[in-house]
Structure 1
């Protein structure tokens, strides 16, 4: 792996952008993934606030690898009209261009109480619409193995890719299987050629009772996932999302300022192990 693959989701470290960029800089990393700033989603910032974000990122000399959207997430069931998702895609495509990234993280919509056949049909229709809009906006959508119709099933992920076309790829999160009740390594083996972006976290427990731990200390088989990715030729971002004390999308704001750095150092240690002679990772 390359040193420039290491990134972090900024609001996992702090709410304010200066503190987010400071946490990335403390690790010596040069890439950030943006989700919220001061508790507000990036797409909801007014133009002046976004201009300050753009300037701060440029001044820090940090590369933006992805913008994390609310498209298709837990707050937007498939029974909602597509307007909010399309608007957010438009805003983030424009802001991503200003920040130097095409990548926008998405999910595939809660069911809203629909039976599976109708849920499936509506999701595939929605993603055909999103894929077309992304193509026209120059964006690349990254579907995460988290919530929604295709969140945990590799066959559904592949169907989603077919529906949306070339402007959709996959984002693989090493730790989501613990919370959502599936073996992430098995899923990764099925989708590996389509993975464009990676989140790194680890956990113990199970659905509804996941407890997040340092990468490599849990049951998500993070080492094995990273080995499979590297052996399969993955050279994209490894974006740290430790979930240890701060999870803004769940309203959890921690008070341990060193947790993000500890997780980052642990990830660096795992990568050093995998790169050691005989480890089988180039």
Structure 2
């Protein structure tokens, strides 16, 4: 199990984790930051700057072996399927191939969760974008169900990324237990919606949570420690608790790494650890 917050010393409530490459490029840096927090769960996106599905078999074997030796649980892997780096016109076969690779690698890591998005548009008429995005998500969910995976659609890039009602429509169209939602507390800062308002109609469908915070500026989001920005992380956590959420809380602070811009600053691990401590402080008053 990952480290958990507890209510009055009682039963475990939720797992605390973090996206490793937010703390460092190499796996050693990533696991060291998790260890510094005293946690034992990690979310994987890239190692040495390489997406998990693109690692050679030898490199992946080293990753899986290291995590097993350290007793680190993998709560989710973050794919590039449908994300901000692609578009609805991209060859769908590439996404299906990535899913096949991750199905095998998730089995090695002991997780069923794969983060996906729903494809940014690329000049198509809105109706055609919707048709293609929903068709792809149905097919991905069907493939995931066959592979005993659960796809977690994030409120980020793509057709259903920033509109809660589109997310509901996508779930209804897929009609599969292999498609659920990943809620990121900070993405509303970038996409212009209040996080709690977005979460409210979707909370029952959320299976995984990313924690980040920030403030909107004329030059784009400025990311902060959880609780120090305008994302109302505390309000989101309260709503999740009220509805019995029992999944992981995984920090993605963006204090050093901004995946969208492929930027990395200095002091990655320090910011990551500070974000973890800030999350713990937010949870403590609620007795979680």
TM-score by length of 2: 0.93
Pair 1:166–1:207, CA change in 2 (3 A):
farther
On the 8 A contact 2:189/2:214 being kept in 1, the answer is yes
2:272 to 260, 275, 280: 260
Residue 167 in 1 paired to residue 167 in 2?
no
CA–CA separation in structure 2 for the residues paired with 1:55 and 1:68 = 19
SS, match of residue 76 in structure 2: strand
Trace 1:38-187 onto structure 2 (pairs within 5 A). Answer: 38-164=48-174, 165-187=176-198
Could you say which residue in structure 2 is the equivalent of 1:189?
A: 200
On the 8 A contact 2:84/2:260 being kept in 1, the answer is no
Instruction: Give the deviation of 1:163 after TM superposition.
Output: 2.2
Aligned length: 276
Could you say which residue in structure 2 is the equivalent of 1:279?
A: none
On the 8 A contact 1:200/1:239 being kept in 2, the answer is yes
Pair 1:166–1:14, CA change in 2 (3 A):
same
SS, match of residue 93 in structure 1: helix
Moved more, 56-65 or 243-252: 243-252
Moved more, 97-106 or 204-213: 204-213
Instruction: Give the deviation of 1:49 after TM superposition.
Output: 0.5
Instruction: Give the deviation of 1:184 after TM superposition.
Output: 1.3
On the 8 A contact 2:14/2:247 being kept in 1, the answer is no
On the 8 A contact 1:70/1:106 being kept in 2, the answer is yes
Could you say which residue in structure 1 is the equivalent of 2:256?
A: 245
On the 8 A contact 1:4/1:30 being kept in 2, the answer is no
CA–CA separation in structure 2 for the residues paired with 1:206 and 1:155 = 27
SS, match of residue 257 in structure 2: coil
Moved more, 13-22 or 252-261: 252-261
Residue 214 in 1 paired to residue 225 in 2?
yes
On the 8 A contact 1:181/1:206 being kept in 2, the answer is no
CA–CA separation in structure 2 for the residues paired with 1:163 and 1:222 = 30
Pair 1:14–1:104, CA change in 2 (3 A):
same
Deviations 1:116-170 (A, max 9, x none): 1111011111111101111111111000000110001111101111222221000
Moved more, 239-248 or 225-234: 239-248
Instruction: Give the deviation of 1:81 after TM superposition.
Output: 2.4
Q: How large is the Cα RMSD of the aligned pairs?
A: 1.3
Unaligned runs of 5+ in 1: 276-281
On the 8 A contact 1:153/1:187 being kept in 2, the answer is yes
Pair 1:136–1:201, CA change in 2 (3 A):
same
Instruction: Give the deviation of 1:254 after TM superposition.
Output: 1.8
Could you say which residue in structure 1 is the equivalent of 2:282?
A: 270
Pair 1:9–1:132, CA change in 2 (3 A):
same
The runs of at least 4 consecutive aligned structure 1 residues that moved more than 3 Å come to 1-4
TM-score by length of 1: 0.95
Trace 1:32-43 onto structure 2 (pairs within 5 A). Answer: 32-43=42-53
